[in-house]
Amino acid sequence: MTNRSRPRILLIGTGDTKSDELLFMQRCIAGAGGETVLMDVSVLGDPPYKAAHDKHAVAAAADTTIAAVIASGDENSSMTLMARGAARLTRQLCDDGRIDAMIAIGGTMGTDLALDVALALPLGFPKLIVSTIAFSHLIPPERIAADLMMILWAGGLYGLNGTCTAVLSQACGAIVGAARGAIRLQPEGPILALTSLGKSCLSYMVELKPQLEARGYEVVVFHTTGMGGRAMESIAAQGGFAAVLDLSLQEVANQVMGSVVNSGSDRLMNAGRNGIPQIVAPGAIDMVDFPAWLPVPTELADRPLHAHNRLLASATSGAVDRRRIARAIAAKLAQATAPVAFVLPFGGTQRWDQDRETLYDPEGLSAFVTEMRAAIRPPVELHVIKDHINHPGFVAKILAIFDRWVADGIVPAGKVPAEQT
């Protein structure tokens, strides 16, 4: 936790158009016991106050000037340059220990900039965006930092009003509280990422997680329903894992099939880009998610369905689409810069794909397995097993690969407590 009695909150916004809101937030932060550090990301105008980090400093951090920003073309190019500068400057302030949290406000323009700033900050550093499009489908998954907080800026246009101040005051209280209470990441041992869909669909984690923990690793499980995979990718992009056990790839299938329940186009990419070894398996690869409160997508209307709850439902993809999904997986893995092992279970990839279950489709499974075997190429290791993904034999294969990689120095050894040695 921060030791400061008055945490320093970086407040980012366009002071030329939102000075009333920003100054109100400054008062709220002070009232909650924080100290405001203002960053102005205006382009054309100037705020009626002096910012600690003005627009010229932000432009300079992007290796440019305000004059060049204005001359860059249009408001999109201008704010993209300011976003680059704001992200770099904010990260430097964080690394130098000069701020304890970040909060930003904006409509689509300010949110676009603030998302870059949030992504530049490390996991565990409090970050909050007050936005007129909070968590909207306008925001692509890959723009969302793993631990980003957002609040909908109701009434957030053309000055202050009662609705607006109610939201802004909550946000300011939240960020000051987060700055005081946040515990920075201090793992007990090397961190492993493990993806799954919970015990009902993919039960391997019940045995696998404690086995890995017994080897001296901190295991972080990500629920692959869109945002879970996004969080994992965000941390992997910052090099946050010793290894990734990406055994549930439903989000990749969703992205290939055009589902909104996806983690972005870079799903299954960031570990490989950052030299993190991966053990990968096609958990739930046959399931395509859609919002349960919407009609079944036309292209899935004749497919077997599984309604998980009132929010989420799934349909199986057909043989042709599973071949497409297999090729997409192989193409992503081929770009990795660190060792990759792909474990292909012949027996099935999720609970409901078995005989007499709702999503049973042996033809589709066979098409996927055949295409996957053809698409995987060295140096990616291909391990074919006869078992179902929820069978103990699958866990045994994953652990055998993992232990070999530890012995070979590909994955760092775990930190086993002294009493176990």
Whole-angstrom distance between the N-terminal and C-terminal Cα of the chain?
32
Task: Give the pLDDT band of residue 397 (cuts 50, 70, 90).
Answer: very high
Distance CA 395, CA 410 (A): 19
**Domains of the chain from N-terminus onward:** 8-181 (3.40.50.12020), 191-411 (3.40.50.12030)
Task: Give the pLDDT band of residue 212 (cuts 50, 70, 90).
Answer: very high
Cis preceding linkage at 379, omega within 30: yes
Sheet containing strand 287-291, strands side by side: 287-291, 312-316, 305-307
pLDDT in tens, 240-288: 999 999 999 999 999 999 998 999 999 999 999 999 999 999 999 999 9
Query: What is the mean predicted confidence (pLDDT) over 139-165?
Result: 91
Q: What pLDDT is recorded for position 156? A: 80
Residue 85 has pLDDT above 90, yes or no: yes
pLDDT in tens, 183-204: 877 767 799 999 998 788 999 9
Residue 2 has pLDDT above 60, yes or no: no
Burial (0-12, 13-18, 19+ Cβ within 10 Å), 345: buried
pLDDT in tens, 127-143: 999 999 998 889 998 99
Report whether 204 contacts 389 (CB < 8 A): yes
Report whether 293 contacts 229 (CB < 8 A): no
Report whether 236 contacts 299 (CB < 8 A): no
pLDDT in tens, 97-133: 999 999 999 999 999 999 999 999 998 999 999 999 9
Q: Which residues pair with 35 in a beta bridge?
A: 8
Report whether 201 contacts 212 (CB < 8 A): no
Q: Which amino acid is at 241?
A: F
How many other CB atoms are there within 10 angstroms of residue 134's CB atom? Answer: 16
Distance CA 34, CA 376 (A): 54
Residue 302 has pLDDT above 50, yes or no: yes
Report whether 185 contacts 121 (CB < 8 A): no
Q: What pLDDT is recorded for position 3? A: 46
% of the chain at pLDDT higher than 70: 98
